[in-house]
Structure 1
Amino acid sequence: MTGVLDYPGDLLGFSADLTSPERDKLLALRAYLEEHVRPILPDYWERAEHLAHLRQPLARLRLVDDPALLDADGRTRALYRGFRTIELCRADLSVSMTFGGQVGMFRTLVLEGASPAQVRDWDRDIIDFRMTGCFALTEPDHGSDIAGGLSTTARRHGDGWILNGAKRWIGNATISDHLVVVAREQGGGRVLAFVVPSRADGVERSVIEHKAALRAVHNADISLREVYVPDGLRLPRIGSFADINRAFRTLRPEIAWSSAGMQLATYESALGYAQTREQFGRPIASYQLIQDKLVRIVENIAQTLALAVRTTTHPVADDVTPSLIKLVAGNRLRESAALARETVGGNGLLLEQDVIRYFMDAEAMYTFEGTREMNTLILGRALTGHSAFTR
Structure 2
Amino acid sequence: MASEDAEQLPLLHLKLAFLALEPPACILALARKAGGGSVTPHIQNFILESCIGTNVGQIQDYTYVKIILKKVIAEAELSSDIVIDGLYEEFARCMSSKANNSSLNMSGKICKEISFLSPTYNNVSSNQVSLVARLSCSTNMLEGDTGCSLWPSSLFLSEFILSFPKLFSKKRCFEQLGSGVGLVGVCLNYVGASKVILTDGDASTLINMKANMEMNNLYAEDSELVKESKNKVECKYLSWEEASESDLWDCRTDLVLGADIIYNPSCVPHLVRVLSTLLGREDGRCETVNVGRDEEPVNEVPWNGATRGPLAYMATVIRNADTFNCFAKAAADAKLSVVNITGAAAPSSFLPYMLSYERSSVQLLEITSLS
Pair in the same fold by TM > 0.5: no
Name the TM tier (shorter chain).
under 0.3
- TM-score normalised per structure 2: 0.28
With normalisation by structure 1, the TM-score equals 0.27
Indicate the structure with greater helix content. Answer: 1
